[in-house]
Chain A
Amino acid sequence: MAALDVGVDTAAVTPVRRRRRVGGLFLASVIWIAVVALGAIFADLLPIPSPTYIDMLGKRELPSAEHWLGNDQLGRDVFSRLVHGGRISLTVGLLAPVIGVTVGGALGMLAGYFRGRFETFVSGGVDVLLAFPPLVFALAVTTYLGQSVLNITLVIGILGIPAFTRVARAVTLSLSEREFVTAARALGATHTRILLRELLPNVALPLVAFFLLGVAVTIVVEGALSFLGLGVPPPAPSWGSMIGEGRESLDIAPWLAFMPATVMFLTVLSFNIVGDTLRALTDPRPGAL
């Protein structure tokens, strides 16, 4: 809620966009994310059918009291698969950027603070990793390593490191010139203390905003892999694979593809809105800090 209050304040300072309008969207996004997350956490406790139980007689059944959103082409409960699918999307979506934000954040801060050879080395590594088209990289690695939630999370997480490194480095670079860092140094603070106590709290906020945008991107990449049948192996439900399976019956039951697509779109959009709102608030321009 604190973030919302700040949002109203900045509307007066920066007349670029009307923050008040974004406020409602922001709240709706947070609520949607909370609903999907709660569903994913408590999926096993909810009074819904099994996501993998196949009802041979109920293929593409329309919604009923028993099957809230009907059945898919194999006769599995769509609502249950959507709820359970949120588990994979959110697990990968939240864990992969954690790798990026910790490794990338640390590398970026060290590079931005110490400069010199280390910075050149880190920037070079970032350029090499960015030289690969991300989807090609993810596909190649999961093919060789094998498809599992862990491998997919690791690959997408490593792919996210360069972006976080760049953000952390840029923010640290500009902050290192500020008076409070000079003051800390004059007081005889060690490098560790300056990095952890002075810089980290200031770098953290832009990184958190970027983390949320990273979650949105990760859910999309995981969805694309699953859509191609190269993500989490079946019969585990995933939004991407549900869209991919639904594509086969676009002519007779288009809703089977559109329902998971809508859920995924709303989730990604929500993370983008929340992340973008925070990013706008923590823009590392001098005036905004």
Chain B
Amino acid sequence: MAKFIGRRLVYLLPVLLAVTLLTFLIASLLPGDLAYTILGDQATPEKVEALRAQMGLDRPIWERYLIWLGNAVQGNLGRSFRTGETVFAAVVDRLPVSLELMVMAVVLALLIAIPLAILCAVRSGSALDRFVTGLAFGKLSLPPFMVAILLIYLFAVELGWLPATGWVPFAEDPVANLRSFVLPALTLAIAEWPVLMRVLRSDMIATLQEDYIAMAKAKGLRPARILLVHALKPSSLTLVTVAGINIGRLIGGTLIVETIFALPGIGRLLIGAIYARDFIILQGVVLFVAVGFVVVNFIVDMLYAVLDPRIRHGRA
């Protein structure tokens, strides 16, 4: 196991380095120069030169990359030239909101996926199974921003049950805080459940053919007990991993959902930085999200190897 982790770690470092390099290079795609962008209309050649020297923009690109990387490793990603806030403080400030949203989304997605998967597995091939499987396929064509519009229309405009926007800190009013998360989390959950349902359904169908299930039936155990205790646990290995992998994919979804529902999370920070042309914040957040994505995937890989010995011993 230690050898496996070591091998993956050796692989992780170059990927992380490449990700930082790519993030840095994307930022250098900016036409003109960051100094011009910051100074705007007041740019005079002297002022631009002074700012370039101050920001180190007059140095060669590889030197700038190394300086930037050195600072980034120490958690110093610069500060916004619009608000003066440091990137680090901005990210730390918004992170809890995004995490709360993602946790609620995963929980809701599992609450939808598990019962449907069990029903479909038990009655596999039935009209219900075909309907739910078809629904899951159709959902693949319905992106989160459309689901969000539908949910806002239904629950906020027509029924008036839940707020469409407006976020309240948890410490101030827990109920209002949770209410403001219901629609965004539900939007992401609706995007995620089809994948989870498909995985659990096919694993469950395989488990239900095992001898010990027939044994449990022969012993006269109640069907509910057989399904929930004997069959669900061994079937949920892949489900756990897929749920983990999808946390990475959720990041993209939170971007849109946080913007639509005006939740002050990482996604909205990023979109806000784009609207405001705040390139320092943008670069910092892109780096943070990309590195977070790589690390989460690495941890999921590790979990997968812990759960399934075949991965550890098989050829990578």
Contact = CB atoms under 8 A, between A and B. Distances in A.
Majority secondary structure of chain A interface residues (helix, strand, loop or mixed): helix
A141 B29 contact: yes
A254 B141 contact: no
B220 interface: no
A133 B149 contact: no
Given A136-B255, A139-B274, A227-B256, A124 B290 contact: no
B30 interface: yes
A131 B294 contact: yes
Interface residues on A, range: 35 or more
A139 B26 CA distance: 11
B102 interface: no
Interface stretch (A106-114, A192-200, A264-272): A264-272
B289 A133 contact: yes
B293 interface: yes
A134 B252 CA distance: 7
Majority secondary structure of chain B interface residues (helix, strand, loop or mixed): helix
A135 B252 contact: yes
Contact of A133 (B14, B22, B30, B293): B293
A254 B157 contact: yes
A261 B293 contact: no
B306 interface: no
Given A272-B137, A272-B140, A243 B157 contact: no
A243 B149 contact: yes
A157 interface: no
A261 B146 contact: yes
A140 B252 CA distance: 13
A135 B22 CA distance: 15
A161 interface: no
A2 interface: no
Given A247-B149, A265-B141, A131 B251 contact: no
Contact of A128 (B22, B31, B142, B157): B22
A5 to B, nearest CB: 23
Interface centre among B251, B252, B255 (most CB of A within 10 A): B252
Interface string B102-142: 00000000000000000000000000000000000110111
Contacts of A183: none
Contacts of A276: 137
B79 to A, nearest CB: 19
Interface in B130-181: 137-138, 140-146, 149-150, 152-153, 157
Given A146-B31, A228-B259, A257 B143 contact: no
B270 A257 contact: no
Nearest to A216: B141
Nearest to A146: B31
B252 A128 contact: no
Interface in A122-146: 124, 127-128, 131-137, 139-141, 143-146
Interface residues on B, range: 35 or more
B145 A243 contact: yes
B300 interface: no
Contact of A257 (B18, B138, B149): B149
A197 to B, nearest CB: 31
Interface string B239-272: 0000000001101100110011000000000110
B24 to A, nearest CB: 11
Given A131-B15, A134-B252, A227 B290 contact: no
B271 A254 contact: no
B256 A228 contact: yes
A230 B276 CA distance: 12
A224 interface: yes
B153 A140 contact: no
Contacts of A269: 138, 141
A254 B146 CA distance: 12
Contact of B149 (A128, A144, A250, A251): A250
Contacts of B249: 133
Contacts of A139: 255, 270-271, 274
A128 B153 contact: no
Closest 6 CB pairs of A and B: A269-B141, A135-B252, A268-B141, A128-B18, A144-B29, A220-B143
21 contacts: A124-B18, A128-B19, A131-B18, A131-B297, A132-B19, A132-B22, A133-B249, A133-B252, A133-B289, A139-B270, A140-B282, A140-B286, A143-B274, A144-B279, A216-B141, A220-B141, A229-B275, A243-B146, A247-B260, A261-B146, A264-B146
